[in-house]
Amino acid sequence: MSFYLKNIESAFDDIKFTYILILVFFVLTLFNILHHVMWRDELEAWMIARDASSLHGLVDNMRYQGHPMLWHLILYPITKITRNPVAMQMVHLVIATASVFVFLRFSPFNKLLKGLFVFGYFPFFEYATISRNYAIGILFLFLFCAYFGKDFKNRNYIPLSIILFLMSQCNALSTVLAIALAITLFTEPLLLKDFTFYRSWRFYTAIAIFMAGLALSIIQMKPPADSSFYNPAIIARNVTGKLYDQISALWNVFVPVPRVQMHFWNTNFLSYVPLKAEIRYALRLIFSVGLFVVSFFIIFRKKMPAFYYCIAVIGLTTFSYVLHEGTLRHKGHYYFAFISALWLSSYYPSEEYRMSRIFNLAERFKNTFLIVILSLSVTSALIANTINGLYPFSANKETANYIKQNGLQNMPIAGFWAATTAGVTAYLNRPFYDPVQDKVTSFNVWKIAKNGKTDVFKNVMSYVDSVKTDVLFIVTEEPLPDGLVKVYEFIPLRSFTNSIVKDETFYLYRVRYETP
């Protein structure tokens, strides 16, 4: 009886711990979000959904995105209720909190590791404060891990395949992890020599469901031939060097501690150690290999999780090498591959191997390794969220406020480059003229540029003539050369350079319309 009461008390303590941490996470993330100025990638998803008049229009708007459209489908009905992009941040807050809830409630880690993980760099900043389509992929990853251990010996594959179906609709990298999980799930009976599942119709139905989701995801992600993302095959000349770059990025993933400065994002403190660049690169490569080896040895005694982890790492590396190299927010999926492999390993017994001493050593220091890695991640999140609160992530909102305050919001707007300008016009709820594509739009379309820089300014002047009034010209990243300003008689108005993201700076010019 006392044992039974102790179990109830322990379960109650776990639930209390979960809800207290969830509340703290929700409140702190809400605070971080309300002090975060969204940058172009966040706002682009909102504008794509906002400016779609129908679901068919949403599909058409998504053609050049290179991602599946589940995130945009979620945003679509919300944009019909309000045109305020803060609504997107609130939806993202709910999703990020839900993923943390699943992790706290169902993962096998102790309370210390759970707490450190939740307030780490990726769950607490990159995939929480910044509103992108990554958090929803992590939610489905955690749901898979939680359901995977339910009724382990009499597994129902269909719910798991539905989760993988949805996971493959979130973003390109969550699709890679979904493929790794699917391969592990459907080959497990073969590798464990348990063939009873192969006689079940549910097993093959589950495969069909996942394959349908994967096919749908690929169809959505495949860009048109004139997309700037379209690369039928990217094979680097320096194959070894590019592969080394991919491997060395693991250091940034496991130790994402940035440099303490305004432009902290996508930096790493190791890159600023006062050593020769070659030595820093070599150290990062060595540390990355070491981190992967240690993380692999921790999981290796569990055959299926180790199998999944290897496939996930190979898949993510191949994606980065062949399709899109990406930055830290993309590489973060290595981190979640490791965490999810650890989670899955809790469902399996350890196996004995010849090198048992090495694996016993890895097991012995597993908690120490995790505490160090997760603590560094918490430090990174603290730095990131603090700087994010002190400085605007982008100067786009400040630029938009200046335009409103000076009564310029009703002027026709031209923007160069379009991707960054769209962040300003999102806050103005206005379209703008893109001189590169020579069209009026409200969000950037990732098509191959038709014209070079020389034609851009001629196109702006042609646009001024067509609208027969002065035009507000927004230039991003760097101001126009003085010579160019004089040639076209642009009138400089104001510059906005206070931004964490280096290329989210803006320079305003007034372009006069000369009456013929």
Residue 510 backbone zone (phi > 0: left; psi -120 to 50: alpha; other: beta) = beta
Confidence at 343, pLDDT banded by 50, 70, 90: very high
Query: Residue 336 and residue 140: Cα distance in Å, rounded?
Result: 12
Helices (H), 86-156: 86-106, 111-118, 121, 135-148
Residues 6+ apart with CB under 8 A from 466: none
The total of other beta-carbon atoms located within 10 Å of residue 80's CB is 12
| Spatial CA neighbour of 68 closest among 141, 139, 174, 203 | 174
Please give the average per-residue pLDDT across 380-405, as a whole number: 97
pLDDT tens digits, 149-184: 887 677 889 999 999 999 999 999 999 999 999 999
Judge residue 273's burial from the number of C-beta atoms within 10 Å of its C-beta, 0-12 exposed, 13-18 middle, 19 or more buried. Answer: exposed
Least confident window among 7-16, 62-71, 120-129, 316-325: 7-16
Distance CA 376, CA 368 (A): 12
In the predicted model, what is the mean pLDDT of the chain? 89
Lowest-pLDDT range of 149-163, 373-387, 473-487: 149-163
Relative orientation angle of helices 201-221 and 172-191, to the nearest 10 degrees? 160
Q: Which two tokens stand for residue 257?
A: 């501690």
* Burial class (CB within 10 angstroms; exposed 0-12, middle 13-18, buried 19+) of 257: buried
Percent of the chain with pLDDT strictly greater than 70: 90
Whole-number Å distance between alpha carbons of 100 and 29: 12
For residue 16, give Cα distances in angstroms to 21, 29, 30: 9, 20, 21
**Tokens, residue 409:** 């919001």
**Phi, psi of 196, rounded to the nearest 5 degrees:** -65, -35
Spatial CA neighbour of 148 closest among 349, 341, 352: 341
The whole model's pTM is what? 0.92
Q: Which two tokens stand for residue 514?
A: 């000369």
C-alpha–C-alpha distance, residues 318 and 243, integer Å: 9
Cα distance between residue 340 and residue 472, in whole Å: 49
pLDDT (mean) for 267-279? 89
Residue extents of the structural domains in the chain: 2-390, 396-511
Q: Dihedral, CA atoms, 248, 254, 259, 264, nearest 10 degrees? A: 90
CB contact set of 506 (below 8 Å; sequence gap of 6+): 395, 396, 399, 420, 421, 424, 474, 475, 476, 495, 496
* Closest among 276, 303, 322, 64 to 176, alpha carbons compared: 322
What band does 232 get if pLDDT is binned at 50, 70 and 90? very low
Q: How much is the pLDDT for 356? A: 65
Starting at the earlier edge strand, list the strands of the sheet with 491-496: 439-441, 432-434, 413-416, 471-476, 506-511, 491-496
Determine the pLDDT at residue 281: 84
User: Where is pLDDT greater, at 443 or 142?
Assistant: 142
